[in-house]
Amino acid sequence: MMKEYKDNMRDPPMNVSLGPIGSNISHWEGVIQPYSESVYSGGIFFLDIKFPSDYPFKPPKITFKTKIYHPNISRNGGISLDILSSCWSPALTVSRCLLSILALLDDPNPDDP
């Protein structure tokens, strides 16, 4: 997780920031800012990121802390995105997950509510 954090600090993805909350390396906060052409443009969305003890072999648990209306995001902030469950790969990074969440905002999956 620290390697991911350092890599992200060295070369941060556009419109995404993330890092540990305090000294707890397994609990992070992420922030995404949708692109200017997005229907969510101008919004700033905070996400809660919890890493399981067997990460990267199991996906992180990512939920929206900021309220949002979206067909693939539940009222409690749960995100319905295949790479966060059945299509997870240890080769994925948490910053890649946040970029996928950004893409999901403007390209919802009606078959995965």
- Domain residue ranges in the chain: 2-106
User: Is the overall model pTM greater than 0.85, yes or no?
Assistant: yes
Mean pLDDT confidence for 37-47 = 96
- Cis peptide upstream of residue 56 (ω within 30 degrees of 0): yes
Given a contact cutoff of 8 angstroms between Cβ atoms, the answer to whether 94 and 28 are in contact is yes
Cα Rg, the chain, nearest whole Å? 13
pLDDT digit string, tens, across residues 53-110: 999 999 999 999 999 999 999 999 999 999 999 999 999 999 999 999 999 999 998 8
Tokens of 52: 């399981």
Q: Domain 2-106 class?
A: alpha beta
Angstrom distances, CA of residue 23 to CA of 20, 31, 42: 7, 18, 30
- Specify the pLDDT at position 91: 96
Predicted confidence band of residue 4 (pLDDT cuts 50, 70, 90): confident
Determine the 3-state secondary structure of 59 from DSSP: coil
pLDDT digit string, tens, across residues 61-76: 999 999 999 999 999 9
Tokens of 7: 């890599």
